[in-house]
Copies of this chain bind each other. A is one copy, B any other.
Amino acid sequence: MKPKAAKQIELETGALSRKEIVAILDALPLDITFVGSRDTVRYFNRLGKRIFPRTQAVIGRKVQNCHPPKSLPKVEEILSGFRSGKRDSAEFWINMKNRLVHIRYFAVRDSKGRYLGCLEVTQDITEIKKLEGEKRLL
């Protein structure tokens, strides 16, 4: 018997099932966390495989409660810049256990430019920095 086709979610440049979306986000070669327009953590990928581990307990938490108090002014400055439209990204990079970790924040907006939230993207760039020359498919 042919299995019933999974319900497709329309994404404007294609359509995917819920299961495919989950698996694609987890297959990305970077860790993401999404904080919604009300500053609460709404989603993260790569459970159990992250550079900075998270558990489901973080979902719903105010982003202001996810940072040490001394970094809060900078966090608030970035978020308010995103919210007002003054800025679209912020980036940092740190050494951690001999790895170079690139941490970026991006404003997430809908097609009309309305602020939907902030995407944190964390990527171990240690190996990427070593790439030289070319390695082509052919």
CB <8 Å contact, A125 and B131 = yes
| Docked CA distance A9–B20 (Å) | 12
Interface flag for A137 (CB, 8 Å): yes
Other-chain residue from B9, B27, B109, B134 in contact with A23 (beta carbon distance below 8 A): B109
Within 8 A of B (CB), among A113-138: 116-117, 119, 121, 125, 128-129, 131, 133-138
Other-chain residue from B10, B47, B117 in contact with A13 (beta carbon distance below 8 A): B47
CB <8 Å contact, A21 and B11 = yes
Interface flag for A18 (CB, 8 Å): yes
Determine the residue in chain B with the shortest Cβ distance to A125. B128
CB <8 Å contact, A19 and B110 = yes
Nearest chain B CB to A114's CB is how many angstroms away? 10
Please state the number of chain copies in the assembly: 2
Interface flag for A102 (CB, 8 Å): yes
CB <8 Å contact, A102 and B74 = no
Given A20-B42, A119-B24, is A59 in contact with B135 using a C-beta cutoff of 8 Å?
no
| Docked CA distance A134–B125 (Å) | 13
CB <8 Å contact, B28 and A135 = no
Given A100-B131, A128-B102, A131-B129, is A71 in contact with B27 using a C-beta cutoff of 8 Å?
no
